[in-house]
Amino acid sequence: MIKENSVSPPPLQLFRNQPEKKTLTQEQEEIIRLKREKNAILLCHNYQIEPIQEVADYVGDSLGLARQAASTDADIIVFCGVHFMAETAKILNPSKTVLLPDLDAGCSLSDSCPAEKLAEYKSNNPDTFVVAYVNCSAAVKALSDVICTSGNAVQIVNQVPQDKEILFVPDQNLGQWVIGQTGRKMKLWPGSCYAHVLFTKESIERCRLEYPDAPVVAHPECVQTVRDLADEVCSTEKMVHYCKDHPSDTFIILTETGMMHRLTRELPDKAFIAGPTGNCACNDCRFMKMNTIPKLLECLQSAQPEISMKPDLIEKSKLPIERMLHWSK
């Protein structure tokens, strides 16, 4: 019997490569022209909207983007991602102009660890070794011993001297996953990504019923009950490699929906089901989606908004980022 008021969940969303060749819009063409004219590089996170990914010079995860930012010889870095990512590019390239189309593109995870709170913790626990996930402010980075991304967190934590007590900030879910992978004890800051925690055990079990043969690939920011259902837990970049090397032609992907564009573009013969949340068939990060094509165009035309930072903050936050790049070579 059908229960009164019962609402059936929205149908699952399946993403496939669209083989017909897309033509770029006038605005996209103008963005490409301005990049060339100004010797600007456009670095783009995997979660950006498809039209931005189409005009980017590099599309990747936080680690790949930091590496690109560290090695570019462009005069201007236009960063299509969120604020902490553009800030990282500025820290690695203080003499360059770093632009972010919308300065309000923040991150709930970054907001969950205010620098004053971390400073207070450190003054009460002066011997703590702080490993900070890159999703944090420059002020938090400046208080940390080493930075990590989801792509290298295990590798980084494995290199922390054994006699150190570790505090992992700000993502408790990534931290908990790293503890499982490394066997290393760590204290965890109680932060989380508002978007990734929306995936639930029930929503993924429903997916599994519909696509029983599709491997489940989850970002480590998902909660443990969801990660436990996954065949693979990894960063967005590693998702591309995992799906490429796996014989299956269909995958259930538990991360932000923008990732489906990167996956379908790189793996045109495979299909990807966007992991559903409790009441939605997809999962957009509202911060990542603040960057739009009109804002990107305006930003290239006016060279604004620009990331500006105090030199001493750049100096202090650079050390743990450089240590990460060195430790994850």
Residue 194's binding partner out of ligand 13P, ligand SF4, none, with CB under 5 to 8 Å set by partner kind: ligand SF4
Smallest gap from residue 30 Cβ to ligand 13P (A): 28
Residues 248 to 287: which contact ligand 13P by CB under 6 A? none
- Find the shortest distance in angstroms from Cβ 281 to ligand 13P: 19
Which residue, 28 or 108, is less far from ligand 13P as judged by CB? Answer: 108
d(CA 285, CA 120): 30
Closest residue to ligand 13P, based on beta-carbon distance: 61
Closer Cβ to ligand SF4, 91 or 195, answer by number: 195
In angstroms, what is the minimal distance from the CB of 321 to ligand 13P? Answer: 14
User: 170 preceded by cis ω (within 30°)?
Assistant: yes
Residue type, 138: A
Answer yes or no whether residue 221 interacts with ligand 13P by CB under 6 A: yes
Q: How far apart are the two ends of the chain, measured CA to CA in Å?
A: 59
Nearest residue to 252 (alpha-carbon basis) of 262, 265, 241, 243: 243
Distance in angstroms (rounded) separating the CA atoms of residues 180 and 230:
14
Nearer to ligand SF4, 34 or 260 (CB): 260
Q: Where do the DSSP E strands lie in the chain?
A: 13-15, 40-45, 58-60, 76-80, 97-99, 129-133, 146-148, 166-169, 187-188, 216-218, 232-233, 250-254, 271-274
Site string for ligand 13P, 231-250 (x = CB under 6 A): ----xx--------------
Q: Which is nearer to ligand SF4, 43 or 107 (CB)?
A: 107
Which of 114-122, 143-151, 179-187, 264-272 is the region at the interface with ligand 13P (rule: CB under 6 A)? 143-151
61 makes contact with ligand 13P (CB under 6 A):
yes
Minimum CB–partner distance for residue 82 and ligand 13P (Å): 7
Q: What is the nearest approach in angstroms of ligand 13P to the Cβ of residue 190?
A: 17
From ligand SF4, ligand 13P, none, interface partner of 287 (C-beta below 5 to 8 A by class): ligand SF4
Q: Virtual CA dihedral for 277, 283, 287, 290, nearest 10 degrees?
A: -140
Specify the residue, 152 or 264, whose C-beta has the smaller distance to ligand 13P: 152
Nearer to ligand 13P, 88 or 135 (CB): 135
Residues 172, 95: Cα–Cα separation, whole Å? 34
Supply 218's token pair.
């989850």
Query: Which among ligand 13P, ligand SF4, none contacts residue 149 (Cβ within 5 to 8 A by kind)?
Result: ligand 13P
Is the torsion defined by CA of 150, 221, 292, 275 positive or negative? positive
Q: d(Cα 189, Cα 164) in Å, to the nearest integer?
A: 17
If the CB atoms of residues 226 and 288 are measured against ligand SF4, the closer one turns out to be 288
Dihedral sign for Cα 240, 244, 245, 250, please.
positive
Binding site for ligand SF4 (CB under 6 A): 82, 107-109, 135, 193-196, 221, 256, 285, 287-288
Q: Is 105 within 8 Å of 111 (Cβ atoms)? A: no
Number of H helices, E strands in the chain: 15, 13
Residues that bind ligand 13P (CB under 6 A): 46, 61-62, 135, 149-151, 193, 219, 221, 235-236
